[in-house]
Amino acid sequence: MPQLDTSTWLMMILSMFLALFIIFQLKISKHNFYYTPELTLTKMSKHNTPWETKWTKIYLPLSLPL
C-alpha cells in the first residue's frame, strides 16, 4: 500500500491562510465606515405627576391600629 505524501501540506495550508487573509482584507476594505458620527442631543422632558407636589404615605392594612 503506498504511503501518503505529506510534503506539500505545509505549503498548501500556508497558501490557504494567505488567500483567506487577502479575501477578508478585500471584503473589509469595501465597507464604508462613519468617521465622524453626529451627536444627537436628547432633551429630557419633565412630567408633572400629582404625587410630586404633595407628601403621601402608604399604609399597610396590618400596620393600622386596632
Q: What's the CA gap between 45 and 16, in Å, rounded?
A: 58
State the average pLDDT over residues 29-46: 76
* pLDDT over 80 (residue 58): no
Q: Cell 490557504 appears where?
A: 16
State the average pLDDT over residues 6-16: 93
Reading the block at residue 10, the C-alpha cell is 505545509
More confident residue, 24 or 60: 24
* Positive or negative: CA dihedral 45, 50, 53, 58: negative
The model's confidence at residue 55, banded by pLDDT at 50, 70 and 90, is low
Listed by start position, the domains of the chain span 6-59
